[in-house]
């Protein structure tokens, strides 16, 4: 077979065969396919689409491009995935919470894409943590801690690992087919018993409308269930940051505030964690239904046990053994921290989440090109939520930057991302729809 012929066929709008897609996935994994060909393939798929059957075939081909894990554990293996948003650090809360409730969570995650933050980048903001572990070490973490948030090894869906990085720098992130194959190739390779998918909708999401989000949710659930993994999806709001902070270390700090009780009930971040966890505990047979499962998650977090399990996971990945007690002093901080105050009175009626995410990328908290090194300390914090009434001089948020010049740019972007009006807006629901 020839990569050029497959790309040309895709460009014409033809549906590739299962054999073509399996060959291309293997080529991504073993280097037969070049970076240029991978980028052209991604663009052709983005522009022309694959269709239901070819999408399923690409997902399975990418799964089978490497090892498929097998488990011998005394509880269900559960996992989740978010399609990406801003201030979305649910994974860091949910993995240890599920483990505390009796599940095993080998969460193979990804880095930031476009304007959205990456779970692996957040974990790496914790000093000493290494997200690259061997399969043997991952098994040991399941047996000793019950959860891990790690990168895909060279043996887990290597075709996706290569294509994922190329998509980020070729403007091919927002493709239904590529998103489905990317997410599920890793999740199915981890041999999870049940999976919950958080499909975001709104200004900070890749999917801007309910129709787009539902199409992706159904694509994901149908493909995963057909592969034997019990899967449900929640379509959730991303018209404002889920947590009041964007940036890697800043989001880890928000997670620890929830886990240690510093932020009270934890707001939307804690609530969505409980909702997703409830679905998974029910699917895994650890709770009678999703409502009972959500109650279990809330109780585990409130007890402080989840904070301790998170710290055990951090230690197992090379971080401090007392992270639950020392996180406020060891997480990196930016040298410039500027409080941004509003210059007019009004209600926060709209927030451009994508613009906020790109502001963090511009600060150095994400990648403009694949080789960029991420600054874990920069970002935005204490962001004002939708519906808040502000007067002149009230704080809109805090910019965390490496220098004053970068802070100037971020301040301009932050102000432009917020819209104030004289009338309080109708607030969107946290969960729009549930699909199983």
User: What are the catalytic residues?
Assistant: 79-82, 119, 167, 182, 186-187
Q: How far apart are CA 26 and CA 313, in angstroms?
A: 33
And the tokens for 91?
């994974």
Query: What HEC string does 283-347 produce?
Result: HCCCCCCHHHHHHHHHHHHHCCHHHHHHHHHHHHCCCCCCHHHHHHHHCCCCCEEEEEECCCCEE
Q: How far apart are CA 218 and CA 80, in angstroms?
A: 15
The answer to whether the CB of 217 falls within 8 A of the CB of 205 is no
The answer to whether the CB of 45 falls within 8 A of the CB of 10 is yes
Burial class from Cβ neighbours inside 10 Å (0-12, 13-18, 19+) for residue 225 reads: middle
Question: How far is Cα of residue 176 from the mean position of the Cα atoms in its chain?
Answer: 16
Q: What angle do CA 118, 77, 307 make, to 5 degrees?
A: 60
Phi and psi at 277, nearest 5°, equal -65, -35
Sheet holding 389-390, edge to edge: 389-390, 346-351, 418-421
The answer to whether the CB of 151 falls within 8 A of the CB of 132 is yes
């Amino acid at each position: 077979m020839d990569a050029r012929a497959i790309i040309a066929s895709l460009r014409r709008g033809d549906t590739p065969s299962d054999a073509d897609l399996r060959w291309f996935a293997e080529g991504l994994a073993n280097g037969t396919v070049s970076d240029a060909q991978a980028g052209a393939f991604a663009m052709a798929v983005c522009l022309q689409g694959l269709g239901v059957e070819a999408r399923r075939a690409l997902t399975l081909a990418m799964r089978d491009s490497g090892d498929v894990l097998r488990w011998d554990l005394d509880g269900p293996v559960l996992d989740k995935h978010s399609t990406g948003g801003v201030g979305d650090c649910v994974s860091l809360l949910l993995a240890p919470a599920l483990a505390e409730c009796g599940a095993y969570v080998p969460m193979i995650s990804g880095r930031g894409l476009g304007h959205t933050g990456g779970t692996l980048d957040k974990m790496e903001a914790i000093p000493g943590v290494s997200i690259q572990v061997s399969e043997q070490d991952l098994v040991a973490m399941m047996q000793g801690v019950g959860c891990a948030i790690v990168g895909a090894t060279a043996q887990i869906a290597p075709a996706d690992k290569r294509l994922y990085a190329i998509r980020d720098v070729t403007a091919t992130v927002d493709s239904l087919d590529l998103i489905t194959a990317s997410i599920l190739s890793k999740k199915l390779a981890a041999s999870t018993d049940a999976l919950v998918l958080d499909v975001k909708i709104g200004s900070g999401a890749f999917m801007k409308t309910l129709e787009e989000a539902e199409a992706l949710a159904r694509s994901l659930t149908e493909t995963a269930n057909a592969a034997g993994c019990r899967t449900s999806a929640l379509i959730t709001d991303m018209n404002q940051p889920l947590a009041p902070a964007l940036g890697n270390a800043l989001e880890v700090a928000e997670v620890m505030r929830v886990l240690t009780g510093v932020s009270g009930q934890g707001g939307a971040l804690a609530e969505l964690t409980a909702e997703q966890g409830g679905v998974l505990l029910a699917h895994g047979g650890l709770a009678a239904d999703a409502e009972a499962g959500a109650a279990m998650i809330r109780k585990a977090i409130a007890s402080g046990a989840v904070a301790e399990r998170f710290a055990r996971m951090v230690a197992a990945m090379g971080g401090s053994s007392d992270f639950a007690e020392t996180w406020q002093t060891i997480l990196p901080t930016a040298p410039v921290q500027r409080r941004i105050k509003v210059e007019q009175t009004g209600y926060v009626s709209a927030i451009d989440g994508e613009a906020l995410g790109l502001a963090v990328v511009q600060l150095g908290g994400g990648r403009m090109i694949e080789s960029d090194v991420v600054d874990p300390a920069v970002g935005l914090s204490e962001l004002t939520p939708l519906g808040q009434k502000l007067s002149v001089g009230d704080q809109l948020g805090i910019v965390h930057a490496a220098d004053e010049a970068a802070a100037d740019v971020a301040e301009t972007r932050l102000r432009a991302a917020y819209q104030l009006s004289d009338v309080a807006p109708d607030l969107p629901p946290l969960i729009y729809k549930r699909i199983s």
